[in-house]
Structure formats: C-alpha cells, structure tokens
Chain A
Amino acid sequence: MEELDIRLMKGNEAMAEAAIQAKCDAYFGYPITPQSEVLEYLSREMPGRYGIPLQAESEVASINMVYGAAGAGKRVMTSSSSPGFSLMMEGISYIASAQLPCLLVNVNRGGPGLGTIQPSQGDYFQATKGGGHGDYHLIVLAPNSVQEMADFVFLGFELADKYRNPVCMLSDGAIGQMMERVVFKKREVPAIKKDWATTGKTKDRERNIITSLFIQPEKMEQVNLSLNKKYEEISKNEVRYEEIFTDDAEYLIVAYGLSSRISHKTVILAREKGIKLGLLRPITLYPYPYKRLNELANKLKGILTLELNAGQMIEDVKLSVEGKVPVWHYGRMGGIIPSPEEVLENFEKLAKIK
C-alpha cells in the first residue's frame, strides 16, 4: 500500500513544495509579504532536488526571466503579491501574446497602492479582465485551501501546457499564510514536446522565434483572432466550480477563495434558521461559470456575492443572470475578514428576510 505523504504547511509552502514535485524547472521571484515563504522555501529546497530558484532584482525582472525560460521550453513560475504583480503586467501581456506556458501566482493583499499586507480580493479585475495592455486572458484559478494551493500548481502547469497560455493562481494573504493539512499524492509529470521553443536551431527545422510583435495590422488581427479562438476553447472546456446546497436553494451566495470558506459557514448558519441558502464557488475565475449561474438563477430569489473588495466579481454574476434575479454585494476591505454571522446578518438585510 502506498504511504500517504501528509504534512501540516502554510499555503505558500505547500505551493512551493508542489512546484518542486511538479518538476518546475525554474522559479524567479522577488520578496513581498504575504508570500515571501515561496522564494525562501524554494531557495532552500530546490537545490539538490529539482529546479533553479533565482532571486531577481525586481518583479519586472522576474516576469521577463519567466518569459525567457518559458520561451526556452521549460516549466517555469513566479509568485508575488499585489504591488509586485502590478509591476509584472507588461511582461504578462507579452507572455500572453507570445503564448508562453507558465504559472503566475498572486497572493492578493489589500490595496490600492502599497496598501496593507492583510488578505484581500481587490485584484479580481486585474486577474480576470486583462490587467496588462491589449486583448488577452489568463486562465485564473482560485484556491480556497492549502490543499488547493498545492493541487492547483499541478493543474496550473497542465492547463498552461495544454493551451500554451499563462495561468494565474489568484490566492490571498489568508490562504497563503494559514496552516492546514495537505496531502501530496505521487504523480507522474508527463514530458511535453515543445517544438516551438528556442533551444537552438537545428538543421532539420526553421528557426524558432518567440515574439509578441506583429507590426502589420492584418497579421496582428489574425493573432488576436487566433488568441480569441483559444479563449473560446478554454471557456468551453475548463470552467470549474463547486456547489453546496444548491439543489433546493432559494438564495445563493457566490464567493471564491477565502470568501467561499466564510460563505460556507454562513450557509450552514442560514440553514439552521430555515433559510434555504446555497453556495456556488467559482474555482476558475476565468473562464467564469456564467452558464451554470444563469441556470441557477431561474429558481432563485436573489444572489449575494461576498468579496473582500468593493464589488468586482459581482459584475460577472450580473452578466451571468441577465437580470433574472437581484444581485447584492457584501464585502469588507483593508484586510478585514467578516465573520459568517456578519455575512448572514447583511444577507438577511439585503434580501429583506428580517
């Protein structure tokens, strides 16, 4: 019988450990709270096990190192937190255009500006609607446990390679910092053929070029169209979400990451009071579960989004339900985490149940 590898770890450490097990060839990063453990863990653990950990001079440098190493056909990642992730935006746009598979982790903290080191979900728009310049999308995964911070490293690399697209794991300061049980399963990491990578032009092929420059308008538009086709394909195949008590739900909370954990508790409290509340947790923020939410809306009286921001994902929920039901937002900011009771109370007020 296979022995289970069970550990008690921080989300950030679990993510770093998963990177080694997923045979991440190189990690490039710059320290920033609340995710500095990633670079620290990898600096300690990668040598002698697998991969190269390199501390860059800035997030601008890290993301461009990711570009170079991903373009050379290797499995690479970086991680940061909000201000650092903002610095990477130009590079991410280049990576999306050049179609380089890689994993980019944002352990979201409060902003705008230097903000606070406490958890936040204020970077939802940045992660899901572009962030950098031009028409592009990242595949965005939102873990809500230490286990998922590890699992989504494997999933993230898999999706990145499958679609030649950068994948963003949008976590937050709480999921990154808290300690939980995490199980590492033995997994085979398949070798991926990357015949487009710059590994040195051999005689049997044309030279490979990694670029995001398409100066002729006709060519640029074709690139845009083919990117869009890819995003449609991703939207068709990769929507992931979790449902809790949605079968008989009259009301629904939509929440991801840390908020979904609070909401889960709120749902249980509501059920104890006889309120038929359910939860839909988007696991992929891009692509978003528009269709499922639209179906659910047919039998709902209202939807609450719980977000640790001023109301960002609520726009996608509204797009999903096409005005069929009222959609309310409740959120706290600045790193303040609402209790399940606080959420329930505000839900009852908004839904006029009290």
Chain B
Amino acid sequence: MLTGEKDCIIEDGEVYELVYEKPLTTLTGTRMHYCPGCGHSTAHKVLAEVIEELGIQEQTIGVAPVGCSVFAYDYLNIDMQEAAHGRATAVATGIKRVLPDKYVFTYQGDGDLAAIGTAETIHSINRGENIMIIFINNAVYGMTSGQMAPTTLVGMKSTTSPYGRDADFAGMPIKVSELIAPLKGAFYVTRHSVHTPGNVRKLKKAITNGFKYQQLKKGVTFIEVISNCPSNWKMTPVKSNEFIEKEMLPYYPLGDIKLPSKEDLAGLK
C-alpha cells in the first residue's frame, strides 16, 4: 500500500512501497547461475551490499576462486581477478603488495581454500597480508558435483564418500578458522552462516568489519561462512538449512574466534 512518505515503485500498474532494494551499483544485475537455495547467492549479495554501503567500489579488488563461485565477477560490479584453483590468496597477495591502499578480498570454497590451496592460505595469513578472506564452507565440492571436501562431516555422504566420511580412512574435517586463528597474521577470525535472516545480518556486520580493518594494515580478516548446498547434499533448501542447524553448527560453532583488542582498533575510521 502507498503511504506517500516512503519510496514507491510501480510495477504492472500497481504501486508498491519500497521496503528492500538490491544494491544497485555493486551488483551487475546478471542473473546468478546458483542452484535454488544455494548460500553463495546470499553471500554475494551481502558482500555487494557492504561494498555499496561503505562506498568503496572504486577502491576494491576481488579475487574469485575455482569452484561454484568462479563466476563471482559476473555478478559483482567491481574489478576482479579469477585465480587458479587454490591460489586466490597468492593472487590477492600479488595485488595487495603492489596496490597497498586498495581493499582486496578473496572469496573461496572449502576445496579451494583448505585442500588444494592450503599452503597459500596458511602462508598468506602467516605473512599477515592485509586482505579479507571470505571462506564459504559448504562441506562439499560443489562445482564438480558433490565430492568429499576437507570439511565434509564425519559420516556425511558425498560422491567420493558414498558410505559416509570415515575419519579413520579420510581424516577428520578441518576446522580452518580454529587452525589459522593462532597465527599472528590473522587479525580477525569469525564464523557465520547464511541459513537464517538473523545470521545473514551478523555476516554482513562481519564483512563490514573485514573491510574496515584492512585500513589498519594489521593482517588478514578471515570470515568463514557456513553455507548450504541443497543440490549436492540432495536436500530441499529448507531441509539443507535444518542440516546446517543440526549437523554443521555443532561441529563448526558460530561466533568470533579471534577479535582484535581495543588497542588494536585504535585509529580506525
């Protein structure tokens, strides 16, 4: 209904009150290729919103991985580079070292960041590169259609762990955030999820911090996002959100793993 006070839009002859708008300048408007219910689309949108609200589109350079989000640059209206599988943080290192005053982030899946790219992940964090790493943990290799990831839960079925992940055979799922948090180069480490609106709001706050803290040049901001993959988990989107709540979060608890101190944050605009 039209109140006359708020912004309105007219569609098919009807007048609607505008209560929510997609970020207009930081999303290209290209229709995303993600499966229905996939957490990647939500994470992209939140990221775009933050870039828009901080007004840093002109200063931001993103690095897309190899994985389902390989086409992130089709959707995010910012300068981007597409890295080889696992090498996003090395590429980001290259960018940030020569453009130290830009905001640089990587956006990576668990196979990309925690299997093939483990060395680059650990060492870029250990060097304290002033970048943000957004780590989408969906416990599976999405793009190659559902193989076991380093983060696949014990007992969880995938195309390469058809009887469920056997920890004695394949090892335990890696808790990357807990693994890297002790490194001095990790400035801010936090875990969020996209399975409820409340959690999406918290994620947005974390990504905002992740960008802002780059001004301080004190190291990596690392934001893990527990995300769903309904297609490869072979569940409806609703069931996949329940799976996050019941199965993923007990092993990957949400919240801050490493917070900068007050003194650390002195001088932040």
A complexed with B = yes
Question: A57-B123, A200-B60 known; A209 and B80 CB under 8 Å?
Answer: yes
Question: A94-B84, A200-B79 known; A211 and B73 CB under 8 Å?
Answer: yes
Which B-chain residue is minimally distant from A57 (CB atoms)? B123
Nearest Cβ distance between residue A143 and chain B, in whole angstroms?
26
Q: Is the Cβ of B80 less than 8 Å from the Cβ of A68?
A: no
CB contact between A68 and one of B77, B78, B95, B122 (< 8 Å): that residue: B95
Q: In the assembly, what is the distance between CA of A57 and CA of B123, in Å? A: 7
Is there a chain A Cβ closer than 8 Å to B115's Cβ?
no
Is there a chain A Cβ closer than 8 Å to B93's Cβ?
yes
Q: Is the Cβ of A71 less than 8 Å from the Cβ of B81?
A: yes
Is there a chain A Cβ closer than 8 Å to B155's Cβ?
no
Q: Is the Cβ of B79 less than 8 Å from the Cβ of A198?
A: yes
Which A-chain residue is minimally distant from B66 (CB atoms)? A213
CB contact between A56 and one of B57, B77, B81, B90 (< 8 Å): that residue: B90
CB-CB under 8 A from B98, the residues of chain A are 25-26, 52, 69, 72, 74, 76
Q: Is the Cβ of B79 less than 8 Å from the Cβ of A208?
A: yes
Is there a chain A Cβ closer than 8 Å to B59's Cβ?
yes
CB contact between A65 and one of B61, B70, B94, B99 (< 8 Å): that residue: B94
Q: Dominant SS at the B interface?
A: helix
Q: In the assembly, what is the distance between CA of A11 and CA of B215, in Å? A: 41
Q: Dominant SS at the A interface?
A: mixed
CB-CB under 8 A from B80, the residues of chain A are 198, 207-210
Chain A stretch 48-72: residues in CB contact (< 8 A) with chain B:
52, 54, 56-58, 60-62, 64-72
CB contact between B58 and one of A70, A94, A203, A209 (< 8 Å): that residue: A203
Total number of residue pairs linking A and B with CB closer than 8 Å: 126
Q: In the assembly, what is the distance between CA of A208 and CA of B63, in Å? A: 12
Q: In the assembly, what is the distance between CA of A95 and CA of B57, in Å? A: 25
Q: Is the Cβ of A69 less than 8 Å from the Cβ of B119?
A: no
CB-CB under 8 A from B94, the residues of chain A are 26, 28, 64-72, 76
Is there a chain A Cβ closer than 8 Å to B180's Cβ?
no
Q: Is the Cβ of A67 less than 8 Å from the Cβ of B83?
A: yes
CB-CB under 8 A from A54, the residues of chain B are 93, 97
Q: Is the Cβ of B99 less than 8 Å from the Cβ of A72?
A: yes
Is there a chain A Cβ closer than 8 Å to B91's Cβ?
yes
Nearest Cβ distance between residue B143 and chain A, in whole angstroms?
12
Is there a chain A Cβ closer than 8 Å to B212's Cβ?
no
Q: In the assembly, what is the distance between CA of A54 and CA of B82, in Å? A: 22
CB contact between B84 and one of A56, A64, A199 (< 8 Å): that residue: A64
Interface size, A (range):
35 or more
Q: Is the Cβ of B82 less than 8 Å from the Cβ of A211?
A: yes
Which A-chain residue is minimally distant from B26 (CB atoms)? A201
Question: A201-B58, A201-B78, A211-B81 known; A64 and B120 CB under 8 Å?
Answer: yes
Choose among A198, A203, A207, A208 the residue with the greatest number of B CB atoms under 10 Å from its CB: A198
Question: A52-B98, A67-B94 known; A207 and B79 CB under 8 Å?
Answer: yes
Q: Is the Cβ of B97 less than 8 Å from the Cβ of A52?
A: yes
CB-CB under 8 A from B28, the residues of chain A are 207
Choose among A54, A62, A64, A74 the residue with the greatest number of B CB atoms under 10 Å from its CB: A64
Q: Is the Cβ of B119 less than 8 Å from the Cβ of A68?
A: no
Q: Is the Cβ of B119 less than 8 Å from the Cβ of A209?
A: no
Q: Is the Cβ of B90 less than 8 Å from the Cβ of A72?
A: no
Which A-chain residue is minimally distant from B99 (CB atoms)? A72
Is there a chain A Cβ closer than 8 Å to B195's Cβ?
no
Q: Is the Cβ of A68 less than 8 Å from the Cβ of B92?
A: yes
Is there a chain B Cβ closer than 8 Å to A298's Cβ?
no
Chain B stretch 104-124: residues in CB contact (< 8 A) with chain A:
119-120, 122-123
Q: Is the Cβ of B81 less than 8 Å from the Cβ of A57?
A: no
CB contact between B87 and one of A61, A70, A212 (< 8 Å): that residue: A61
Nearest Cβ distance between residue B157 and chain A, in whole angstroms?
29
Which A-chain residue is minimally distant from B25 (CB atoms)? A203
Q: Is the Cβ of B73 less than 8 Å from the Cβ of A200?
A: no
CB contact between B93 and one of A65, A208, A212 (< 8 Å): that residue: A65
Q: In the assembly, what is the distance between CA of A214 and CA of B133, in Å? A: 25
Is there a chain A Cβ closer than 8 Å to B102's Cβ?
yes
Q: In the assembly, what is the distance between CA of A201 and CA of B71, in Å? A: 17
Q: Digitize A29-57: 1 where CB-to-B-CB distance is under 8 Å, 0 elsewhere.
A: 00000000000000000000000101011
CB-CB under 8 A from A198, the residues of chain B are 61, 79-81, 95
Q: A61-B123, A198-B81 are in contact. List 17 more A-B contacts (CB 8 A).
A: A26-B94, A56-B90, A60-B87, A68-B63, A68-B93, A71-B94, A71-B95, A74-B98, A76-B94, A91-B87, A198-B61, A198-B80, A199-B99, A199-B102, A200-B59, A200-B102, A201-B58
Give me the interface of B with A, judged by CB distance under 8 Å: 28, 57-61, 63, 70-71, 73, 77-84, 87, 90-95, 97-99, 102, 119-120, 122-123
- Between-chain CB contacts (< 8 Å), 29 pairs: A52-B97, A54-B97, A56-B123, A60-B119, A61-B93, A64-B84, A64-B87, A64-B90, A64-B120, A67-B81, A68-B81, A68-B91, A71-B81, A71-B95, A72-B99, A94-B84, A198-B80, A198-B81, A198-B95, A199-B99, A199-B102, A200-B99, A203-B58, A207-B28, A207-B80, A208-B79, A209-B73, A209-B81, A213-B82
Give me the interface of A with B, judged by CB distance under 8 Å: 25-26, 28, 52, 54, 56-58, 60-62, 64-72, 74, 76, 90-91, 94, 98, 198-203, 207-213
